[in-house]
Structure 1
Amino acid sequence: MNAKHKKIDSTIRIVFLVSMILGLFINVKRDPLEGFWFLETWFLMIIFIVVSETFRA
């Protein structure tokens, strides 16, 4: 990987980390039965793995 790829990879990781933290705070403040499914940790991790591995390929 060259410097450009490393920079994009770190940007992807930071964006997903921030989205996971924001999703946690948003879903904690909501009623457990009314939480946003697309901000759940399991969903964000699946998306992160797909995006990260697609970029890496």
Structure 2
Amino acid sequence: MNVKLMKFLRDEEGVTAIEYGLIAGLIAVVIIGAVTGLGTKLGAIFDSITKSIP
């Protein structure tokens, strides 16, 4: 029983999967923020182009 418990506590395979999941989530948040900011700027540019066309 103790051997199995110690083996379970030393196993880091699940920790690595959680770390990769957290990294992927952080990257997704950064991408969403960048695309949202870019979309707002592009919308303003297209609005100014539309207003300048007679």
Paired with 1:16 and 1:8, the residues of 2 have a C-alpha distance of: 12
| Identical positions, percent | 6
Q: How many residues align?
A: 33
Residue segments in structure 2 that go unaligned for 5+ positions in a row: 1-12, 47-54
**TM-score normalised over the length of structure 1:** 0.51
Do residues 25 (structure 1) and 26 (structure 2) align? no
Paired with 1:11 and 1:28, the residues of 2 have a C-alpha distance of: 26
Amino acid at match of 1:29: K
| Deviant stretches of 4+, over 3 Å | none
Residue segments in structure 1 that go unaligned for 5+ positions in a row: 35-57
Bigger share in helix: 2
> Relative CO higher for 1 or 2, CA cutoff 8 Å, sep ≥ 6?
1
Deviation at 1:7, TM superposition (A): 0.4
The structure having more radius of gyration, on CA atoms, is 2
**TM-score normalised over the length of structure 2:** 0.54
